[in-house]
Amino acid sequence: MVELRGDLKLALDRAAFARAAGLHPDSWQEEVLRSESKRLLLNCSRQSGKTTIVAALAVHRALYIPRSFCLIFSPSLDQSLEFFRRVADLCHALGIEHVDPEALRKTGMDLRNGSRIEARPGSERTARGRTADLLVIDEAARIEDELYHSLRPMIAVTGGSLVMLSTPAGKRGAFYDAWTAAVGWERYRVTAEVCPRISEAFLEEERASLPSWVYRQEYECSFEETSDQVFTTDMVERAVTSEVKPLFETG
């Protein structure tokens, strides 16, 4: 009976579940774990723990909602492998008996309750035709808009959840648009300064070693102009006015 009560607590409290898996969530990570929102945007510093905490969300859902499908997309195969490694580590910490050993793959697993977790590299051509209960877009600032647009319909029928996590990569793309303009998202901005695992001494070294815009992007979650951009976003916005009729009209 004690085990049943403990299992019920873990089912209802994702932060307690993460601690049971050996994690020690930061305050912002606990907020993410306890969020009831179906649309999460995590704009986070490098090495802040964003991948680990989203992996915990996926494992929790797979364990406690039978026959659910958690689908994770990353820009590359290496990133997919790394993300799934976090998922597998959590499953091992909780007890691998939850997983069907015959269905444990390098980038996916089937659980005994019928749930699945898959981590895949992003490609618009191969992303179609799937239905997900939890859709995770890893390194979302670096995926192509076409892929993002093809992924969203995957949760249309299930009414599933969508999580985008990334460090910024310029003032463009679906992640930037969602962070700055789109409605319906619950947003989290996590800079390196609030991460207890990143020392101030290391950040001082990075400030001295990196171009200032790179430091702001990688550690302060700032959307900077991209290195190949001839005209800044601000220049383009100031050049457009409703008082001047465009030379060419579409439609």
All structural domains of the chain: 7-239 (3.40.50.300)
The predicted pLDDT at position 7 comes to: 82
| Amino acid occupying residue 227 | S
* Vertex 69 angle, CA 66 and 75, to 5°: 155
| Amino acid occupying residue 45 | S
Which residues are within 8 A (CB) of 247 and not within 5 positions of it... i.e. 6 or more apart?
none
User: Burial of 73 by CB count in 10 Å (0-12 exposed, 13-18 middle, 19+ buried)?
Assistant: buried
0.75 cut: is pTM over it? yes
The predicted pLDDT at position 144 comes to: 93
The predicted pLDDT at position 38 comes to: 97
The predicted pLDDT at position 69 comes to: 97
Three-state DSSP state, 161: strand
- In order along the chain (251 residues), what is the average pLDDT of each group of 10 residues? 62 94 96 97 97 97 95 93 92 75 75 92 75 97 94 96 98 96 94 97 98 97 74 44 55 45
Quick one: CA torsion of 213, 224, 189, 80, rounded to 10 degrees?
-90
The predicted pLDDT at position 245 comes to: 61
The predicted pLDDT at position 126 comes to: 67
The alpha carbon of 211 is separated from its chain's Cα centroid by a whole number of angstroms, namely: 26
CA Rg value for the chain: 20
Q: Which of 54, 15, 11, 247 is nearest to 140 (CA)?
A: 54
Q: Which two tokens stand for residue 171?
A: 């003032």
The predicted pLDDT at position 232 comes to: 43
Transcribe 60-90 into DSSP letters: HHHHHSTT-EEEEEESSHHHHHHHHHHHHHH
